[in-house]
Amino acid sequence: DIVMTQTPLSSPVTLGQPASISCRSSQSLVHSDGNTYLSWLQQRPGQPPRLLIYKISDRFSGVPDRFSGSGAGTDFTLKISRVEAEDVAVYYCMQSTQFPLTFGGGTKVEIK
């Protein structure tokens, strides 16, 4: 299975300031169809995960534009341009290039 590694484990951020999370995969996530199936999920306390970003940089329906994704191959980044109180959550990267799905260990974004 593809191993996903996320950093940092925790990210204390001041409201209105940016946050950045990195994710690295143990092998290239480029699918034979040419797409790279790297997604970012948000899990607020007591809630199920919610899809934010898919195929590296496409925002899912209803996701605010302060969330953005970038990267290629095996290295990917999620950025929050200006953190709001509702962004307090654990964020996971996920690959769906191969099955079963595999996930990074999670990054907790909290307010300083």
Partner 1 sequence: QVQVVESGGGVVQPGRSLRLSCATSGFTFDRYAMHWVRQSPGKGLEGVATISHDGNDKYYAESVKGRFTISRDNSKDTLYLQMNTLRDEDTAVYYCAKGTGADFWGQGTLVTVSS
User: Which residues contribute to the site for partner 1 (CB under 8 A)?
Assistant: 1, 37, 39, 41, 48-51, 54-55, 60, 92, 94, 96, 99-106
Q: Are strands 107-111 and 10-13 parallel, antiparallel or unpaired?
A: parallel
In the complex, the smallest distance separating the C-beta of residue 60 from partner 1, rounded to whole angstroms, is 6
Separation CA 90–CA 27 (nearest Å): 24
Separation CA 1–CA 79 (nearest Å): 26
In the complex, the smallest distance separating the C-beta of residue 45 from partner 1, rounded to whole angstroms, is 12
Residue closer to partner 1, measured from CB, 76 or 92? 92
Residue closer to partner 1, measured from CB, 18 or 105? 105
Residue closer to partner 1, measured from CB, 25 or 39? 39
Residue closer to partner 1, measured from CB, 58 or 82? 58
Q: How many CB atoms lie within 10 A of CB 84?
A: 12
In the complex, the smallest distance separating the C-beta of residue 42 from partner 1, rounded to whole angstroms, is 11
Separation CA 40–CA 34 (nearest Å): 19
In the complex, the smallest distance separating the C-beta of residue 78 from partner 1, rounded to whole angstroms, is 15
By three-state DSSP, how is residue 13 classified?
strand
Separation CA 64–CA 1 (nearest Å): 32
